[in-house]
Amino acid sequence: MISKAQIRIFYLLTILFILTNCYLIITRDSLIFNLLPVAIILFFTLFLSMDKVLLASVFLVPFSVPLKEFFPGIDFNLDIPTEPIFICLVVLFLLKQLKDRDFDRKILKHPVSLCIFFYLGWRLITVFTSTIPLVSIKYFVMLLWFIIPFYFITTQIVRKKKNINKFFWVYIISFCIVIAYTLVVHSANNFSHGYSNVAMRPFYNDHTSYGAALAMFIPIIVGFVFNKENKKSYRIISGFVLVYFIIAIIFSYTRAAWVSLLGAFAVWLMLRLKINYKIVLTTVIILVGTFFIFQEQIFFKLEGNKQDSSTDFSEHIKSITNVATDASNLERINRWNSAIRMYKEKPVFGWGPGTYQFNYAPFQYSYEKTIISTNAGNMGNAHSEYLGALSESGILGMISLILILIYVFITSVKIYNKAKSKSLKILIASVICALVTYFFHGFLNNFLDTDKIAVPFWGFVAIIVAIDVYFDDFDKEFETGNKELNETNDVSGELTNDEK
C-alpha cells in the first residue's frame, strides 16, 4: 500500500522535473534533462533484473567496438556499449550486497573463488608498487568489472540449467553475425592470409582474438551436436552452426587456435578414458619444465624450419614451429624474453598490472628484434598470459593465475566423474574443453583484458563452480529432464506403432 507521504513526494519530484526541464529548454535550448527519466528507468531495470541485463550484455560483447574507433585522440579507451554496462553491474551488485547481504557464502569459500581472491589481492598489492600507478589502477578496476559480473554474479544466474544454455547462445548468436561480416569482408579480398588479420575489425582487434573466441565456443557447440538427449532439430541446427564456426576458424589462419583445439581434444580423451588428472598435471609440469631446461637446444633444432605463414593450410601448419624466419613467431619470442628480463629485475612485485607495454622496450635485445618490433615498445602486450602476469606482478602474480586454472581443471574432472546424467557429463566436458583452449592460448597470447575473451572465460569458470556447489540440484534436474525426454520418446514410439 502506497502511503500519502510517498504520493506527495512523487508529485513534488514530478513538478520539480517539469519546471527544471522547462527552464533548460527556454534558457539554454537544451533537451538533455529529458534523459533523466530514461536513466532512472534503466537504473531500476538493472537493479531488479540483473540476470537479464547480464545476459543482454553477453549478447552485445561480439558487437562491442573500442571508443577510440569514434574518438581517436582520447587518452582512455572503453569497449562500447559493453564496458559501461559492466561497470553499472558491478556498482549495483555491490550496493545490493550492502543492502541484502544474501550472496551464497558457499561460492565465496570455493577453492576457485579463494584462488581468484588471491589473484585479485596480489594484483591490488602490486598496484601500490607499480612503476605507473595510474595505468595499474585502471587495469585493476577493469579486472573487477570482468570478474564480479561474469564470475560472481554469473554463478547465481546459472544455478538454473536453462540459463547456462542462454549464456552460451546469446554470445553464439551475435558472434554468428560478426562471423558473417568477417567472411564477407574477407571474401572480397580473396580470403588472403594478409587480410585475415583485419577482416574482423572493428569488432575484434585482430585474427588472434577472433580465433581464440571461435576455439572457445567450438567445444560447446560440439557438445550440443553430440548430446543425444537433445531434440533432433536442436542437434541439426547446432550441427550447421558447428560447420559455420569450423569454416570461420579455418579462414582465421590462427595457428594458436588450431593448436588449442588439439589440446581440448586431448583433455576430452583424458575424460573419456578416465585418466587420473594428477597424471595429466604432472605430465604438463614435466613438459613445461623440460622446455625451459632445454629451450636452447629446442630452438636450435626448430631453426631448421624456414616455412613462413601462408594461405596454403599445410604450409601454414608447418610454420607453427618456424622460429628462424617467421616474423610473428620471432616477435613472440622477443616479447617473452623481454618479459623474463623484466621479471628478473623486479621478481617479487613486478612492474605493475597493465604496464608491460610501457616498460618492455629497453629489455629488447637488438638481435632478437624483428621487422614488426618497435624501439618505442608500443605494440602491445607480452603475448603470453602467464609471462605477462610474471613481468607485471612478479612470481606470485603468475602463480595466482596458474592456481585458478589448476583448481578449475581439478573441479571439472571431479564433477565430471560424479555426474550420473550423460547430458550433465557432456556439458561439463564441453565447458572444461572450452576453457582448455584458452589455457593453451594463454601460452601464446593474452586476452583476459578484453571483453571478447574475458566474458566467456570467467562465465565458463562460473558454470563449473556453480555445478560443483549446487551439484545435487543439477544432477536431479538433468536426471529429471532425461526421464521426461525418454518418456516422451516412448509415447511417440507407441503412437507410431498404433498408427502402423
Please write the tens of the pLDDT for every residue from 379-414.
678 889 999 999 999 999 999 999 999 999 999 999
Query: Angle 74-77-81 (CA atoms, 0-180°, nearest 5)?
Result: 120
* Any domain includes 1: no
Assigned domain for 407 exists = yes
306 has pLDDT over 80: no
Residue 258 predicted with pLDDT over 70? yes
Could you tell me which residue, 95 or 17, shows the higher pLDDT?
95
Sign of torsion over alpha carbons 429, 432, 433, 434: positive
- The pLDDT of residue 247 is 94
Which pLDDT score is estimated for 70? 73
| Residue 32 counted as domain residue | no
Mean pLDDT on 207-230: 93
Q: What is the pLDDT of residue 128?
A: 95
The C-alpha cell that represents 241 in the structure block: 552452426
Q: Give 97 or 110, the one with higher predicted confidence.
A: 110
pLDDT band at 493 (very low <50, low <70, confident <90, very high): very low
The answer, yes or no, to whether residue 454 has pLDDT greater than 70, is yes
Provide the 10 A C-beta neighbour count for residue 371: 7
Give the pLDDT band (50/70/90) at residue 496. very low
- What's the pLDDT tens digit per position in 115-154? 999 999 999 999 999 999 999 999 999 999 999 999 999 9
Q: With bands split at pLDDT 50, 70 and 90, how would you rate the model's confidence at 177?
A: very high
Looking at residue 483, its pLDDT comes to 56
Quick check: is 27 in a domain?
A: no
Say which range, 294-298, 383-387, 443-447, has the weakest mean pLDDT: 294-298
| Residue 474 pLDDT | 83
Q: Is the pLDDT of residue 421 over 70?
A: yes
pLDDT at residue 500 in the model: 41
Asked whether residue 353 carries a pLDDT value surpassing 80, the answer given is yes
Percent of the chain at pLDDT > 90 equals: 43
- Name the average pLDDT for the chain: 83
pLDDT at 458 over 60: yes
Give the total number of structural domains in the chain. Answer: 1
- Of 12-21, 250-259, 479-488, the range with the lowest mean pLDDT is 479-488
If pLDDT is split at 50, 70 and 90, which confidence band does 30 have? low
User: Does 221 reside within a domain?
Assistant: yes
Mean pLDDT (whole number) for 259-287 = 84
Residue-level pLDDT at 305: 47
Better-predicted residue by pLDDT, 493 or 39 = 39
Cell numbers placing 173: 548468436
* Selected residue with higher pLDDT from 377 and 488: 377
Per-residue pLDDT, averaged over 30-37, amounts to 63
The answer to whether position 402 is within a domain reads yes
**37 in a structural domain:** no
pLDDT score recorded for residue 36: 63
pLDDT, residue 293, reads 66
Domain that holds residue 332: 45-491
**Full-prediction pTM beyond 0.75?**
yes
CA 114 – CA 119 distance, rounded (Å): 9
Let me know if residue 12 belongs to a domain. Answer: no
User: pLDDT at position 432, please?
Assistant: 95
